[in-house]
């Protein structure tokens, strides 16, 4: 019976940690997409009028090239950011319940 409880608790902890990791990865990607679109919008609105502006554009181009290319649009990135935030909260709750359960089991067995 103890091994069943141990496996269930371990599974819940691993599941919660995995959920948090995937949520943070999704939030990071959505945030990078939003930042990239903002930078691209700024560049297209202002254009390059002077050497300083050209130097800034080159710097932004280097940053844009180093960021992953986004596949969606601003709306889908904002929705993704919110969805991954909710998933992170749910995964944190799974971990919280799992840790509370472990504490209760330890208190009961002690």
Cα distance between residue 13 and residue 93, in whole Å? 10
Find how far residue 105's CA is from the centre of its chain: 33
pLDDT in tens, 9-25: 678 888 888 888 999 89
Q: What is the pLDDT of residue 54?
A: 55
pLDDT at residue 44 greater than cutoff 80: no
Which band of pLDDT confidence, cut at 50, 70 and 90, is reported for residue 28? very high
Angle, in degrees to the nearest 10, between helices 2-46 and 51-66: 160
pLDDT at residue 31 greater than cutoff 80: yes
Q: What is the mean pLDDT of residues 20-40?
A: 85
pLDDT in tens, 61-102: 877 777 776 666 888 888 888 998 998 898 888 888 888 887
């Amino acid at each position: 019976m103890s091994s069943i409880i141990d496996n269930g608790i371990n599974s819940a902890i691993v599941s919660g940690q995995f959920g948090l990791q995937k949520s943070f990865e999704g939030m990071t990607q959505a945030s990078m997409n939003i930042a990239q679109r903002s930078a691209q919008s700024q560049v297209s609105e202002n254009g390059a009028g002077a050497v300083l502006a050209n130097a800034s554009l080159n710097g932004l181009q280097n940053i844009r090239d180093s960021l992953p290319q986004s596949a969606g649009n601003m709306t889908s990135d904002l929705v993704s950011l919110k969805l991954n935030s909710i998933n992170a909260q749910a995964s944190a709750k799974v971990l919280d319940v799992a840790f509370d359960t472990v504490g209760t089991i330890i208190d009961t067995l002690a």
